[in-house]
Chain A
Amino acid sequence: MTVDAPAPPTRRAVVPQHHLTVARRGSVFLSRHPRLRLSLLLSAPLFWLGLVYIAALAALLITALWTVDSFTGQISQTWTLDNIAAVLTGSLYQTVTLRTLGVALLVTIIDIVIALPIAFYMAKVASPRAQRILVIAILMPLWASYLVKAYAWRSVLSQGGIFEWLVSPFGGHSPGYGLPATIITLSYLWLPYVILPIYAGLERVPDSLLEASGDLGGGTWATLRLVVLPMIWPAIIAGSIFSFSLSLGDYITVNIVGGANQMLGNLVYTNVGAANNLPLAAAIALIPILIIFAYLAAVRRTGALNNL
């Protein structure tokens, strides 16, 4: 999701006269010490990410090794692998993990399949004016609240909702609330996040390459498969990271349209809230963390992480 178009400076900049001010001396000193420059640049963000985020994650993972005192409801710091073992062996967790993984994968595939032709049309076929309007049209739904959109699908798919109203003349039925509704809604919610990186990736494919491929005898499919696809692969993966990880942790959409189905997020949520068992919740949270890490490790080589 990047918008990059280098802007040559249009104004003539007036470089101030040099006096050996403090700023000037600092500047001279810094330009001679690139390492110091680097550490000054990185210290604040790394302090933030390391201290706020990584420390918090590490603390959470350690909590997974503790237990909750059943009388007081307080976390007692006795080391145990019980939570991890429960998550690894419990059939509930296996079923829910598989279900969540299946939903996340399906949502990702659906989004990519829908996003590819649209992004291609936007980047390579539409006129510049149409292109700008299409980008706005894709971006705008992002601003309607996530909850409102999920709830809109609830009303679209409800008994007597607009979906039934549209398809009943053809003998169709609304899928009702359940996993299909969850998959539809999640695909809908994350679609713009998948279209935008693929569109940006396609914009970076020069038209001249497509023409060259055509001149050399490449048909449409050959060009798409051998020229375009390898070039936009990192962008596709980048889009998939959004839809995959956003689906993997979702628990609100499945509450709104998923009927009685649970996903991993629901299990974590109930254990943090109603069950007041943070150690077990942390142990369950390990599952999506591991899945995401495996996914990131697998796609790192494609250069996708530079294309988010």
Chain B
Amino acid sequence: MRLSRPASGLLAAITAVVLALIYLPLLVVFVNSFSTSQNLVWPPPGFTLEWWAKAFQSDGALDAVLTSLQVALASTAVALVLGTLISLGLQRFEFFGRDAISLLVILPIALPGIVTGIALNNAFRTGLGVQLSILTLIIAHATFCIVTVFNNVIARLRRLGTSLEDASSDLGAGIWTTFRLVTFPQLRSALFAGGLLAFALSFDEIIVTTFTAGSTVKTLPLWILDNLFRPNQAPVVNVIAVVLVLVSIIPIYFAQRIAGAEKVVR
């Protein structure tokens, strides 16, 4: 099959239009972060840097960013360990109930967040009798983050096969040495990609968070939900969204470079 020129031109046009549509609302957010209108009227009546100054002085917003970073880092760390263990177990062994386990990993992301949220809330408070805190939040987030690590790592393991590991143990390396020097280096970029998705998932999660965070824990989405409908705060929320998108270029760029570099080697 060879695509004709008009066909690939059409595809390029569709891609360009959809990308424009994807960025239109983000553009609105960007422009509104400078708007003098607090109710986000379009077109903006005038421009100001007031909201940018306010955003960087807002303690609530900065605290919320820090809390979200903590939660996302901790749950990503847990997800990386558990996701790697579970994918090694499922990919390197044949056993009864393997399908059930892979379904079990997918379930926390496949079931609606509100179901996960109220189930965990009920279990923490009435089942275990613990106070909701940042810890219960991390546990909840890690539970649905496992799947992104699992998917990336198991796809990588499937593609790698076991020949290098077999060679390593034939040459006398024990299982720790083989994992450290042979398996892990080959998993690194898959772990990075999975970890990045897990981080993003946790950082932006609002529904499960609503039900599992202690009342004193304010993650960024919770803070945004509190402030989005306040006229004085809505433009500040826009500023924070713009900053997040801009900052996100860095990890995404690195993930792409790692993946790209590996393709060249192949």
Sort chain B's interface into a size bin.
35 or more
Q: Which residues of chain A are near B95, meaning CB under 8 Å?
A: 38
Q: Which residues of chain A are near B247, meaning CB under 8 Å?
A: 143
Residue among A2, A128, A292 with most chain B CB within 10 A: A2
Pair A44/B85 contact, Cβ less than 8 Å = yes
What is the CB-to-nearest-CB distance from A288 to chain B, in angstroms, rounded to a whole number?
A: 5
Q: Would A144 and B24 be within 8 Å (CB), given that A45-B82, A160-B42, A265-B112 are in contact?
A: no
Pair A136/B249 contact, Cβ less than 8 Å = yes
Pair A214/B122 contact, Cβ less than 8 Å = no
What is the CB-to-nearest-CB distance from B6 to chain A, in angstroms, rounded to a whole number?
A: 11
Q: Is B133 an interface residue (CB 8 A)?
A: no
Pair B25/A125 contact, Cβ less than 8 Å = no
Pair A140/B248 contact, Cβ less than 8 Å = yes
Pair A30/B204 contact, Cβ less than 8 Å = no
Q: Which residues of chain A are near B177, meaning CB under 8 Å?
A: 15-16, 27
Q: Tell me the complex Cα distance, A158–B40, Å.
A: 10
Q: Which residues of chain B are near A92, meaning CB under 8 Å?
A: none
Q: Which residues of chain A are near B224, meaning CB under 8 Å?
A: 145, 147-148
Q: Is A251 an interface residue (CB 8 A)?
A: yes
Q: Tell me the complex Cα distance, A246–B108, Å.
A: 11
Q: Tell me the complex Cα distance, A250–B103, Å.
A: 22
Q: Which residues of chain B are near A292, meaning CB under 8 Å?
A: 110-112
Contact residues of B between 80 and 136, Cβ < 8 Å to A: 81-83, 85-86, 88-89, 93, 95, 99, 101-116, 118-123, 126-127
Q: Is A93 an interface residue (CB 8 A)?
A: no
Q: Is A161 an interface residue (CB 8 A)?
A: yes
**How many residues from A make CB contacts under 8 Å with B?**
117
Pair B152/A45 contact, Cβ less than 8 Å = no
Contact residues of B between 199 and 241, Cβ < 8 Å to A: 200, 203-204, 206-207, 211, 220-221, 224-225, 228, 234, 237-238, 240-241
**Number of residue pairs A-B, CB distance < 8 angstroms:** 341
Q: Which residues of chain B are near A18, meaning CB under 8 Å?
A: 172, 174
Q: Tell me the complex Cα distance, A77–B116, Å.
A: 22
Q: Tell me the complex Cα distance, A265–B151, Å.
A: 27
Q: Tell me the complex Cα distance, A220–B86, Å.
A: 41
List of 4 A-B pairs having minimum Cβ-Cβ separation, nearest first? A249-B112, A27-B174, A143-B248, A56-B123
CB-defined A-B contacts under 8 Å, sample of 22 = A2-B156, A3-B193, A10-B265, A13-B182, A15-B172, A27-B175, A42-B86, A53-B116, A59-B122, A118-B18, A141-B23, A142-B248, A143-B247, A146-B206, A147-B206, A148-B228, A250-B112, A272-B118, A278-B118, A282-B118, A288-B111, A308-B151
User: Which of A's residues lie within 8 Å of B, judged by CB?
Assistant: 1-11, 13, 15-16, 18, 23-24, 27-28, 30-31, 34, 37-38, 41-42, 44-46, 48-50, 52-57, 59-60, 63, 75, 114, 117-118, 120-122, 124-125, 128, 132, 134-149, 151-153, 155-156, 158, 160-162, 165, 188, 191-192, 210-211, 213-214, 218-220, 223-224, 227, 241-242, 245-246, 248-252, 264-265, 268-269, 272, 278, 281-282, 285, 288-289, 292, 296, 300, 305-306, 308
